[in-house]
C-alpha cells in the first residue's frame, strides 16, 4: 500500500521498527493537520507489526519521530519500540518522550 515497515538497523529495543510512507515526505516538521490520518495509520501499522511479532502489551511501547536536526535521514519515519520498559540508558535518552529531539 502506501506504507512500509521494517526493522531498524540499530535497534534501541528488542522490537524496533520503522514505519515509512512509500511516497516521499520530508520529516515531522513538515506534517500538517491533513496528515493526521496518515500518522494514525502509521501508528496502527506499528501496532499490527508488534502483534504479528508476538508482542501484545501495547501499554509498554514507545512511538515517535526524531526532529531535525536529529534525523539521520530526511524522510518521515515513525519509530516503534517495544518493550519501552527494556530501553537501555542511551535509548531512554535518544527516544525520550516529548523531548525537543523526539516527539510522540
User: pLDDT, tens digit, for every residue of 29-76?
Assistant: 889 999 999 999 999 999 999 999 999 999 999 999 998 877 778 899
- Global confidence as pTM: 0.94
Alpha carbons 95 and 46: distance in angstroms, whole number: 16
Residue written as cell 529495543? 13
Average pLDDT rounded to a whole number, residues 85-98: 93
Task: Report, as residue numbers or ranges, the catalytic residues.
Answer: 77
Question: How many domains does the structure of the chain reveal?
Answer: 1
Confidence of residue 27 (pLDDT cuts 50, 70, 90): confident
Give me the domain span that covers residue 94: 3-103
Q: Indicate if the alpha-carbon torsion angle 58, 59, 61, 63 is positive or negative.
A: positive
CB atoms within 10 A of CB 73: 10
> Which DSSP symbol is given to 67?
P
Q: Rounded to the nearest 5 degrees, what angle is found at the Cα of 75, between the Cα atoms of 38 and 59?
A: 50
CATH of the domain at 91: 3.30.428.10
Amino acid at each position: 500500500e502506501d506504507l512500509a515497515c521494517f526493522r531498524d538497523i540499530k535497534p534501541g529495543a528488542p522490537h524496533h521498527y520503522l514505519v515509512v510512507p512509500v511516497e516521499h515526505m520530508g520529516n515531522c516538521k513538515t506534517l500538517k493537520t491533513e496528515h493526521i490520518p496518515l500518522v494514525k495509520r502509521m501508528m496502527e501499522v506499528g501496532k499490527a507489526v508488534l502483534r504479528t511479532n508476538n508482542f501484545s502489551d501495547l501499554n509498554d511501547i514507545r512511538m515517535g519521530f526524531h526532529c531535525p536536526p536529529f534525523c539521520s535521514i530526511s524522510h518521515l519515519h515513525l519509530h516503534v519500540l517495544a518493550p519501552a520498559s527494556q530501553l537501555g540508558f542511551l535509548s531512554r535518552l535518544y527516544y525520550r518522550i516529548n523531548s525537543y529531539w523526539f516527539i510522540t
